[in-house]
A = this chain, B = another copy of it.
């Protein structure tokens, strides 16, 4: 159907409000149907297009494309087409940055040793806790009982901590390096 885009928009609104998708009966009144049959057909179409999926419990969940921004959003706002691909396909920033909530902590950045990597003092980094990491990962390591944010490197078979600021030295731990977690994201608030 050609109204599917509108119906999908209503589902997105509902999801934005509640954080979950509604049952068929609620979709029914949400889009104005008077029976569940057209809802079933609608859901089937949206599933085929990748906007919806089902959980094993047969409930609806957002599909791969559910968070795509409709193109008409940019057009409606009157923005030039070059800008159309600068938008962002996520509803919440949290969902974008945090994949494993139970292993994730936020750490406030102190110091400017990672300046060159675009991480400034006062920024917050999203850290996935785990004891091992690969060279090249940005990690939170524990050095002298303090958190240290550096890039993990390898030197003659040993791990080293590399800052992204020429004013700081590479840290070559004498004992084994204790890794608190791996940095998977970062954010900053202005003003």
Please report A residues at the B interface, Cβ cutoff 8 Å. 9-10, 12-13, 15-16, 18-23, 25-26, 55-57, 59-62, 66-67, 69-77, 79-80, 82-83, 85-88, 90-102, 104-110, 115, 118-120, 123-124, 126, 138, 142, 145-147, 149, 180, 183-191
Contacts and interface: CB of A to CB of B under 8 A. Distances in A.
A177 to B, nearest CB: 15
A96 B185 CA distance: 15
A76 B146 CA distance: 6
A53 to B, nearest CB: 8
A40 to B, nearest CB: 17
B185 A138 contact: no
Nearest to A110: B74
A74 B138 contact: no
Contact of A74 (B12, B108, B189): B108
Contacts of A94: 67, 69, 92-94
Contacts of A124: 71, 88, 91
A59 B107 CA distance: 32
A91 B108 CA distance: 11
8 contacts: A16-B100, A69-B94, A69-B104, A71-B108, A72-B147, A75-B147, A93-B97, A96-B189
A67 B126 CA distance: 14
A69 B94 CA distance: 9
A146 B72 CA distance: 12
A62 B95 CA distance: 13
A57 B26 contact: yes
Given A15-B101, A87-B107, A184-B191, 16 more contacts: A19-B62, A20-B55, A25-B57, A67-B94, A74-B149, A75-B147, A79-B145, A86-B147, A88-B107, A92-B94, A93-B98, A97-B187, A97-B189, A118-B118, A184-B189, A187-B188
